[in-house]
Amino acid sequence: MARDLAVSTLERFRKRLEEEQVRLGEIIRDIEAEREEVRLTETSSDRSPDPNTAEGGSLAFEMEKELSLWQNTQDILAMVEESLSRIDEGTYGKCEVCGGSIPVARLDALPYTKLCVDCAASRR
């Protein structure tokens, strides 16, 4: 039988998720600002990076790394926002697959998880 989380526990996670939402939003803004800067530098001069030179190649690599960091951060932010709406709906802390309750210890480690340990393991 799935047991609901105590209101105080839910509020604790809501606070953590809201802090995480702010933090991730800042990371995304930083990356976007940096990319915009690189783009402006590239278009305003004829020194566009040539991937065949060492310098251009490493810049392209850096941008690719930033892009995947940006993508990952966006993904986590989406999960954090979904978790916040799940708190509002009263479904937070319940496994999306089996409906069982996710242990608080697991939520402490991964506040935005939607799966219990068993379901997360069987997805791999």
Which residues in this chain contact Zn ion in the complex, by CB under 5 A? Answer: 95, 97-98, 100, 116, 119
Handedness of CA 81, 85, 88, 92 (dihedral sign): negative
Q: Which is nearer to Zn ion, 60 or 98 (CB)?
A: 98
Give least dist CB 120 to Zn ion, A.
Answer: 8
Q: What is the DSSP letter of 98?
A: T
| Helical axes 7-44 vs 54-89, angle rounded to 10° | 150
Q: Which is nearer to Zn ion, 95 or 107 (CB)?
A: 95
Q: Which is nearer to Zn ion, 34 or 96 (CB)?
A: 96
Characterize 14-23 residue by residue with b for buried, 16 or more Cβ atoms within 10 angstroms of its Cβ, and e for exposed.
bebbeebbee
Give least dist CB 115 to Zn ion, A.
Answer: 6
| CA nearest neighbour of 113 among 90, 88, 94, 85 | 94
Q: Which is nearer to Zn ion, 10 or 119 (CB)?
A: 119
Give least dist CB 94 to Zn ion, A.
Answer: 9
Distance CA 69, CA 66 (A): 5
